[in-house]
Amino acid sequence: MRNETLIWAIVTVVILYLVWLVVSPVVSPIILALAVAYVTYPLHEKLLPKIGRRKAAFLLTAIIAVLSFLFLIGFVLWINDVKYQIVRYMEISFTWLQSVTVSSQRINEVLTAITEGVRSRIESYIVSYTYSIPKLALEIFVMLFVYYGALVNAEEIGRELYNLLPPQRKEFGIRLIEAARYTLDTLLKSWLTLSVLKGFATALGFWAFGIAPTSGAIALGILTAFVELLPFLGGWLIWIPGVVYLIHSSNYVLAFLFAVYSIVFVSPLPDFVLAPKMTLRRRGLNALISLLGIFGGLWAFGLVGIIIGPVSLGLLATVIEEWKKAMESQPAE
């Protein structure tokens, strides 16, 4: 019996290793597809009674496919310029920060290291895809395929997930699932979604008002989305310099209009109007989780780390709480 158990254990490990080798190249698009499916599933549920499950999933997949195709075109046309603009704006910001703070060689070295680190990381992403556009296209195809399958089989996936929980620890497993759902609701359906919308509004504003070229506007939109993820900060850090630029250029009317546009669509009005409707923005995510989870995950896993980081920390917090309860329930010696 012991030998048979050992053989099955070895076979299981080998199978899992082979599965990982097959799946690992497309882990990122799979995670991204599941995240997008989770966010858009309520819309799928609204469309389902009108046109049916598969047609609703196909319609949403078609919309995501069009957006993905536009992203691919934009990636090919502007990615190098966008990288240059992001690093350039960071260097300008850090130079200004050094000019208004106490001069310190140590601080200057840290800011320079941050800029160089961001530059090298962005360049590594660009190089990995620039020389393999078919790889990016394949990942988009995998994402669309998984996205459609996740929408069509969402209920079955949910049932199977709960059925896989061991009976003796089912309550703990349910708490882990609820913790992950709680974090995903806060992160994806409110915080991250609102940040992306603000980034899009920022890019559109800087481009429409002629403050920045297309690549520069996209770079500022990306920076806005990331700044919005930081606690206590917001998109106003990005659009106020745009207003100052227009004032210095003697475009006072445009400066006023751009300020009004940014207040209404970027910051702070959306925080009071949209955030409460999209579930509370930072609910359940404190500053430590947001910084370590989002940016640590981003640095370690790339873009999907924005999802993996906070969820893993949320699960860790649940495990710690369970361990504390177990320790408290033990009788004192």
Greater model confidence, 12 or 116:
12
Q: Is 251 helix (H, G, I), strand (E, B) or coil?
A: coil
Greater model confidence, 232 or 155:
155
Least confidently predicted of 8-12, 43-47, 222-226, 322-326:
322-326
- Stretch 215-231: mean pLDDT, rounded? 80
Share of the chain above pLDDT 70, in %: 72
**Cα(110)–Cα(255) distance, rounded to whole angstroms?**
34
| Total Cβ atoms within 10 A of residue 227 | 19
Q: Inform me whether the pLDDT recorded for 218 exceeds 80.
A: yes
**Cα(128)–Cα(139) distance, rounded to whole angstroms?**
13
- Stretch 109-123: mean pLDDT, rounded? 62
- CB-based contact 34:161 (threshold 8 Å): no
- CB-based contact 239:202 (threshold 8 Å): yes
**Cα(150)–Cα(31) distance, rounded to whole angstroms?**
11
Q: Inform me whether the pLDDT recorded for 14 exceeds 50.
A: yes
Question: Global pTM?
Answer: 0.70
Q: Inform me whether the pLDDT recorded for 120 exceeds 70.
A: no
pLDDT of residue 260: 92
Which residue in 95, 87, 121, 130 sits closest to 219, CA to CA? 87
Supply 66's token pair.
């069009």
**Cα(178)–Cα(117) distance, rounded to whole angstroms?**
36
Which residue in 213, 211, 276 sits closest to 239, CA to CA? 211
For 89-98, how does the pLDDT look when each residue is reduced to its tens digit (9 = 90+)?
A: 766 666 665 5
pLDDT of residue 284: 45
Greater model confidence, 185 or 212:
212
Using alpha carbons only, give the angle 12, 307, 187 rounded to the nearest 5 degrees. Answer: 135
Helices (H), the chain: 2-23, 27-51, 53-100, 105-130, 133-152, 154-163, 170-186, 193-208, 214-229, 236-248, 252-265, 269-277, 287-289, 297-301, 305-329
**Cα(217)–Cα(248) distance, rounded to whole angstroms?**
19
**Cα(220)–Cα(202) distance, rounded to whole angstroms?**
7
**Cα(25)–Cα(33) distance, rounded to whole angstroms?**
14
Q: On the CB side of 235, how many CA atoms lie within 13 Å of its CA? A: 30
Q: Inform me whether the pLDDT recorded for 282 exceeds 50.
A: no
CA 21 remoteness from chain centre = 25
Q: Is 189 helix (H, G, I), strand (E, B) or coil?
A: helix
Supply 86's token pair.
């992001």
pLDDT of residue 104: 60
For 152-203, how does the pLDDT look when each residue is reduced to its tens digit (9 = 90+)?
A: 888 888 787 777 777 777 777 777 777 777 777 777 667 777 888 888 999 9
Q: Is 249 helix (H, G, I), strand (E, B) or coil?
A: coil
